[in-house]
Amino acid sequence: MVRSGTLILSVAARLLMPLQLLFSIFLLLRGHDEPGGGFIAGLVAAGAFALYMFAYGTQATRDMLRVSPRDLIGLGLFLGVISAFPAWWHDQPFLTAQWWTVPLINFKFSTPLIFDIGVYLVVLGSVLTAVIALMDTGHANE
Amino acid sequence: MQLAVLGGFVLATFAPLLHRWFGDRAGQVMALLPGGLALWLLFQMPAILGGEVMVFEQAWVPGLDITLTFLLDGLSLLFALLISVIGVFVLVYASGYLEGHPDMARFHVVLVAFMMSMLGLVLADNMVAFFVFWELTSVTSYLLIGFNHTDPDARKSALQGLFVTAGGGLALMAALVMLGIMGDTWSFQELLGQGDALRGHDLYFPMLLCLLGGAFTKSAQFPFHFWLPNAMAAPTPVSAYLHSATMVKAGIYVLARLHPSLGGTESWVTLLSLFGAVTMFIGAFLALRHTGIKSLLAYSTVMALGTLTMLLGIGTDEALTAFVAFLLAHSLYKGALFMVAGILDHETGTKDISAMGGLGRLMPVTAVCAGVAALSLGGVLPLFGFVAKELMFESVLHAERLSLFVQLLSLAAAIMTLAAAAIVALRPFFGKQRDLPKTPHEGPPSMLVGPVVLAGLSLLFGLAPGLVNGLVGAAVTSVRGEALPVSLSLWHGVNLALVLSLVSLAVGLLIFRHWERWRGWLGKLDPLFARGPEAGYFWSMDMIVKVSSWQTRMLQNGYMRNYLVMTLLVLVGLTGYTLWSRHVLSLSFALDVRFHEAVVAGLMMSGAVVACVMRPRLAAVAAVGTMGFGIALTFVMFSAPDLGITQLLVETLTVILMILVLFRLPRFANLSTHLERVRDLVIATATGVLVTLLVLEVVDHRFFPSISDYMIANSQPEGHGHNIVNVILVDFRALDTLGEMFVLALAAIGVFAMLRFHADEYEARQPEREEPSDG
């Protein structure tokens, strides 16, 4: 029903989606110092997929995603939970942030980053699950 | 220590993988974990027996004084040893019992998780951590009991067990919270020193009632005993584990753990002795009614749990020694007996004892194990059960309160237990052979090793009780609060306790001879049992369903407008009342408003008005969107860019979702009457006014110092980030965020399930609808 099939939307979706996804990862990574973060980035990514879905339908989107959005939720929750544990090795309370600097590229890797990636995946997965379910139901009713 | 237990949970999740690698041997591989733990505990034993208390500290939520500190003293050592040793045998045994079962991996996941919850329960020093593990055992045992989930009976029994134990869990939680308030600590250890203050506290009695509510449901005391025999729907390895050393002993454990701080008062002694003795009697009595070997054993477990509670109630030095000895003896023989029952069931294809006979020649090892373990159950010389029973009689004879009552019930229970033991030991193995569904033969070695070792230990400890002096003594010390040297012996000389033992032996054997007739008499009492506590359980379940369907019809009728009305009315009522009664409204409208702020506010207001009056839905959605974007703009103006971005994105997605939904709605129609619309208008206006007042009020007052300063000051040095919002989200308040992640995930799954369910239903109905048109 929502599959418009207009040329403009299809082309725009195809071009915009990679950019939006890149932008979402950019937002995710810079989130700790500048406006951004896992939640916002997850919403942007979900928006990207939603746009694609409007242009090409749910089946095409699912094929492109390859994994079920529900698996994304699971993975996100898993990342969120395991980021709680490294603090244990240092005898600190759960969820105490741990920071490691990766040499050479001087990249600061940390448990909050893992946690943020978890947030990102949960938000992306949840929104996609809901949107895909809604659109599929629409088709079933047609 | 903590790592071992949490590592066990991780191992549980890897069980399916282990199954892929090792096939049916996975159980044996996984048994290495409890085996290693048991070895480690054995190495710690000398220190603990020397009176040391080992504490493994680990912070969890320091802000709330919640720790994951583990405590290893005599009592937890005894329990942990039983859990891990019997755990090893159960895992090995299960690999034989469930050989080739398609869901073996699932079984191992839950069983190992259960094992670890149980270990955590007996090791935890912090009451909150203890409670978490307590609930985990309820949940995992639910999954274990309902393992054969295609069987409706198994599902029903599992649910019953869960309802009873989780309901009791609520009572226990209340008790623990009260204890926390009374002692101003969450640590069991710190409660130890405050015994007198706790016993004299105003909250003592209500706390005790709640505590007993939790412990009695978990440990199947009368009148909550019915769930335990029903839990026999579980596969036999599970029964062997749950009933010997674990699940049902958890309630006993918490009573024993708190005994030094709470025990000894009049109400404690009376309640525990009374309920314990009644449970003991009823368990032993009902055991004889049953011919199913597992039910019979289950009721004898009820008997044992009652005895343990009663001994804790009596609380003298003798009684506490008897308590620990009985606990140990029961774990050993009951584990062995259930495994024997499983072998019989596995090899003969029936659970009915009266159908078995003459199996002794075909299954000699099983028969010997059954004999030894049953003799221990019956408390016959020279098994460890005898030692425990002598001590029990001894302490019952010296009981200070309700003494005649507990003495009579103890004697009666001992007699009937002996009869039950004789039935289990002799019936299946002697007499003439009968027709059975399967051709019986000896069980495989993996299933025999457990009963052989456990029955062997019963015999060994019976012949040389000095071996466990140290272990029992250390446990008694923890239950008593002060050190008490224990020296167990098999032969106490000729005394009243021995006479009682002999009497129970003689009468018990007499009952065994006439078991069939006895059962016939008991059968006449069936109508009485139909009105037992279990009927109360079904009645309350019925009532719960009735009340909840009534309130669902009233409150959750599926109309969005009713939900809204309800929510808003509650909000207006409660908040409005508080605002009106507690605060003097001092509204100052002297707000410093800039021009562009006024414009945004005006835009939002007009958006709201338009959304209300617009008839086409798309336009209404757009108007609501205007409001949302206005809020986003406000966030940006007040320098909260993160919120602004979030709000923008959420608005965008909301519009997308709304459009998806709107496409599927029927045409707009006006179904509500004029009066209803006026009512809605009043409610909406009231809500709007209230929220406005609230905001104005909040702006003027500051009830507590703002925490933003702390966040701003510590964001960079502690959280290594300049974006304070994000540092709060993923670092300072990460636990809250984690909770919200789970909520979000649940919501998504809910949406998915709801829509999918309808879609599938639709598809399922489709052919039916088409049929008439075809015809």
Q: Is the ipTM of this complex over 0.90?
A: no
| Residue A139 reports pLDDT greater than 60 | no
Nearest CA of chain B to the CA of A57: how many Å? Answer: 13
Predicted pLDDT at B211: 92
* Residue A23 counted as domain residue: yes
Report which listed range, A79-88, A129-138, B72-81, B593-602, is most confident: B72-81
| Residue B33 reports pLDDT greater than 90 | no
Structure token digits, residue B78: 């005894």
* Residue A33 counted as domain residue: yes
B136 versus B614: which is more confidently predicted? B136
Closest C-alpha to B656, from A12, A36, A53, A141: A53
Contact A126 B748 (CB under 8 A): yes
Using an 8 Å CB-CB cutoff, list chain A residues near B717. Answer: none
Predicted pLDDT at B387: 86
Contact B755 A134 (CB under 8 A): yes
Q: What are the helix and strand counts (H, E) for chain B?
A: 34, 4
CA distance B285 to B289: 7
Structure token digits, residue B732: 């300072």
Nearest CA of chain B to the CA of A5: how many Å? Answer: 16
| Residue B592 reports pLDDT greater than 80 | no
CA distance B514 to B404: 28
* Residue A73 counted as domain residue: yes
* Residue A97 counted as domain residue: yes
| Residue A91 reports pLDDT greater than 80 | no
Contact B646 A141 (CB under 8 A): no
Report which listed range, A123-132, B583-592, B715-724, is most confident: A123-132
| Residue A100 reports pLDDT greater than 70 | yes
Domains: count for chain A? 1
Question: Using one digit for the tens of pLDDT, what is the confidence trace for B627-639?
Answer: 888 888 888 888 7
B312 versus B487: which is more confidently predicted? B312
* Residue A1 counted as domain residue: no
Looking up tokens 């939680």, which residue turns up? B173
Report the mean per-residue pLDDT for chain B: 82
CA distance B255 to B245: 15
Amino acid at B11: L
CA distance B402 to A136: 70
Question: Using one digit for the tens of pLDDT, what is the confidence trace for B38-70?
Answer: 888 888 888 888 878 888 887 777 777 788 888
Predicted pLDDT at B284: 87
Tell me if B234 sits within 8 A of B144, measured CB to CB. Answer: yes
CA distance B269 to B259: 11
Question: Using one digit for the tens of pLDDT, what is the confidence trace for B713-763?
Answer: 777 777 777 777 778 777 777 888 888 999 999 998 888 888 776 555 555
**Which B positions 189-248 lie with beta carbon below 8 A of chain A?**
none
| Residue A128 reports pLDDT greater than 60 | yes
Q: State whether residue B738 sits within 8 Å of chain A by CB.
A: yes
Lowest mean pLDDT among B211-215, B273-277, B604-608, B665-669: B665-669
Structural domain for A120, as ranges? 7-140
Question: Using one digit for the tens of pLDDT, what is the confidence trace for B301-352?
Answer: 889 999 999 999 888 888 888 899 989 999 988 888 888 888 888 888 777 7
CA distance A42 to A20: 11
CA distance B13 to B372: 37
pTM: 0.79
* Residue A14 counted as domain residue: yes
Contact B720 A140 (CB under 8 A): no
Distances (CA, A) of B397 to B263, B315, B608: 20, 13, 81
- Alpha helices for B184-225 (secondary structure H): 188-192, 195-199, 204-218
Site from B639, B647, B726 to mutate, A interface, most A CB atoms within 10 angstroms: B726
| Residue B770 reports pLDDT greater than 50 | no
CA distance B729 to B740: 11
**Which B positions 381-440 lie with beta carbon below 8 A of chain A?**
none
Average of pLDDT values for B158-171? 88
Closest C-alpha to B165, from B116, B123, B79, B226: B226
Query: What is residue B187's three-state secondary structure?
Result: strand
Q: State whether residue B729 sits within 8 Å of chain A by CB.
A: yes
| Residue B516 reports pLDDT greater than 80 | no
* Residue A85 counted as domain residue: yes
Phi and psi based region of residue B380 (left: phi greater than 0; alpha: psi -120 to 50; beta: remaining): beta
DSSP symbols for B82-100: HHHHHHHHHHHHHHHHTTT
Query: What is residue B157's three-state secondary structure?
Result: helix
Q: Please write down the HEC assignment for all residues of chain A.
A: CCCCCCHHHHHHHHHHHHHHHHHHHHHHHHCCCCCCCHHHHHHHHHHHHHHHHHHHCHHHHHHHHCCCHHHHHHHHHHHHHHCCCHHHHHCCCCCCCCEEEECCCCEEEEHHHHHHHHHHHHHHHHHHHHHHHHHHHHHHHC
* Residue A77 counted as domain residue: yes
Using an 8 Å CB-CB cutoff, list chain A residues near B762. Answer: 140-141
Using an 8 Å CB-CB cutoff, list chain A residues near B639. Answer: none
